[in-house]
Structure 1
Amino acid sequence: MSHTTENQSPRAAVVTGATTGIGRATALELARRGWRVYAVGRRAERLDALAAQAREEAVPGEVVPAPLDVTDEAAVAGLVARVDTDGGIDTLVNIAGGARGTDFVGAGSREDWEWMYRANVLGTLAMCQAFLPGLRAHGEGTVLNLTSTAAVTAYEGGAGYNAAKMGQHGLTAALRLEEAEHNVRVIEVLPGMVHTEEFSLMRLGGDQSAADAVYAGVEKPLTAEDVAEVCVHAVELPHHVNLDQIVIRPVAQAAQHKVIRR
């Protein structure tokens, strides 16, 4: 079934971080529900594979590969022009981001901290600034930012990621206040422990055994598809319904500091 609004049919979204994990799962699920999805990420071959999967499944929507780095403002501007030519979007889903390192503050890598700030905060900023004019003009625009439970609870060894996600969390809260008068809905999804292909592996410098240990003994950590389902549900609700903040964790993770391992 094709999902429509009063102002636009079919619905269309830009989804960042679509090469892997939650971003990929969200882009595919939206296409399965009839959306045109501009799938954004740095690895063109992965986006092409995602679009091919959507075609093979004969989904009612469409995946349009859009290879770029969200911190590259010129590339983002090019995407805006392409999207506008196609008729615009009503939804921006910012999932691109990530973590690097587990250093304590006293030994933290400046390079890792700067990368996390660029990826999580400045990338989100660039995408919002680029697409807000079109979302306002649409009349019923939506921005969904994926942050993390790390955005609201600090933990040892997480300071760099905490700082980046708390920055993105603050950006999102301010954006909601600023854009309400333009009827732009702003949603924040804050996942806890999600077992994806690359998140912990990238954070831990490619050490697969260390990445596997993060989830060892945890019964049913969240999957990318679990979080994607929540994101899609939030943006498909009637536009006047705003899920301001959605915290999603596995049952085994009762809190940031309490994880049940069996």
Structure 2
Amino acid sequence: MKHTVLVTGATAGFGEATARRFLAEGHQVIALGRRVERLEALKTSLPPEQQKQLLTLAVDVCDSEKVDDLAATLPIEFAGVTVLVNNAGLALGLEPAQKAFLSDWDRMIDTNIKGLVHMTRAFLPGMVERQCGHVINLGSVAASYPYPGGNVYGGTKAFVQQFSLNLRADLIGTPVRVTCVEPGMCSGTEFSNVRFKGDDDKASKVYSGVKALSADDVAEAIYWSANLPSHMNINLVELMPVQQAFSAFQIHRGEFS
């Protein structure tokens, strides 16, 4: 079937790659993002037939009032959203919890949790009513594997994972599907640049010597999940580059002063 796909955070990284992947296969896409110039650049970069299949909307997922009304205000030709990709999210800082900035924590909670649940609540009733839909949430391996400085970011992604599983429990008896896609280390996105607040040199060192995942790799996992036979639901997809694995437990040796 041809989908109408709504992608949040579509101005860069996973979101932009996902929008392009669905458009390349002839699906309609609603691309949401905060940066108008990036949305315009996305549209103008596409061939004319794909431009006709794309609707761009400058929406911040943290704007709860606008998000809550979004499903009711879409143009009729884009109103029947069949796939919602909750991609918008961010990590801020790597400070230990006792030194972290509350403003960073608040922004991660507002975007990664509140923005995601408001988007889901806005479009889920229509999916259930139409008996057709798929919610795909972007999580992270940080949901399952803690690391120093991951504190609230990892906590928000653990929420995304559990919320996704609980949605599945609520939606039993409907054909609506829910998937949580959880990437590991991924280069070529703005993730680390945002985390380190524009320090591009520091961000680039995160990926030094590693063939990390790309945004296209993650978009492929999203596209695959959405286009399996309708009786199949992928609950969780966890993906890492081969050069990434799980850290050993940390041990502090010696007395505390």
* TM-score computed with the length of structure 1 as normaliser: 0.90
Q: Which of the residues 76, 79, 84 maps onto 2:70?
A: 79
1:230-245 matched pairs, under 5 angstroms? 230-245=221-236
1:104 aligns with 2:92: no
Question: Are the equivalent residues in 1 in contact too, given 2:15–2:87 (CA < 8 A)?
Answer: yes
- Match for 1:114: what amino acid? D
**Offset at 1:61?**
7.0
Instruction: Give the number of the structure whose alpha-carbon radius of gyration is greater.
Output: 2
- Match for 1:213: what amino acid? K
1:249 aligns with 2:206: no
Equivalent in the alignment of 1:179:
171
Residues of 1 paired with 2:89 and 2:209: CA distance? 26
Q: Gapped runs of 5+ residues in structure 2?
A: 250-257
Quick one: structure 1 residues 68 and 227, their matched pair in 2 at CA, closer, same or farther if it must change by over 3 Å?
A: same
Q: Gapped runs of 5+ residues in structure 1?
A: 5-9
**Offset at 1:78?**
4.0
Question: Are the equivalent residues in 1 in contact too, given 2:145–2:246 (CA < 8 A)?
Answer: no
Residues of 2 paired with 1:44 and 1:78: CA distance? 20
Equivalent in the alignment of 2:38:
46
**3-state secondary structure, aligned to 1:29:** helix
**Offset at 1:79?**
2.6
Residues of 2 paired with 1:211 and 1:256: CA distance? 20
Equivalent in the alignment of 1:66:
57
Question: Are the equivalent residues in 1 in contact too, given 2:7–2:32 (CA < 8 A)?
Answer: yes
Q: Which of the residues 92, 116, 119 maps onto 2:84?
A: 92
**3-state secondary structure, aligned to 1:144:** strand
- Could you say what the CA RMSD is over the residues aligned between the two structures, in angstroms? 1.7
**Offset at 1:115?**
0.6
Residues of 1 paired with 2:75 and 2:40: CA distance? 21
CA shift digits 1:135-161 (9 cap, x unpaired): 112212100001000011111111121
Residues of 2 paired with 1:151 and 1:246: CA distance? 12
**3-state secondary structure, aligned to 1:196:** coil
Equivalent in the alignment of 1:13:
5
Question: Are the equivalent residues in 2 in contact too, given 1:39–1:63 (CA < 8 A)?
Answer: yes
1:123 aligns with 2:118: no
Q: Which of the residues 16, 27, 35 maps onto 2:27?
A: 35
Equivalent in the alignment of 2:255:
none
* TM-score computed with the length of structure 2 as normaliser: 0.91
- Match for 2:195: what amino acid? R
Identity %: 38
Question: Are the equivalent residues in 1 in contact too, given 2:70–2:122 (CA < 8 A)?
Answer: no
Quick one: structure 1 residues 60 and 116, their matched pair in 2 at CA, closer, same or farther if it must change by over 3 Å?
A: closer
Residues of 2 paired with 1:55 and 1:82: CA distance? 27
Q: Which of the residues 228, 236, 244 maps onto 2:219?
A: 228
Residues of 1 paired with 2:242 and 2:248: CA distance? 13
Residues of 2 paired with 1:84 and 1:125: CA distance? 23
How many residues of Structure 1 are paired with residues of Structure 2 in the alignment?
Answer: 248
Question: Are the equivalent residues in 2 in contact too, given 1:30–1:61 (CA < 8 A)?
Answer: no
Quick one: structure 1 residues 142 and 105, their matched pair in 2 at CA, closer, same or farther if it must change by over 3 Å?
A: same
- Match for 1:240: what amino acid? H
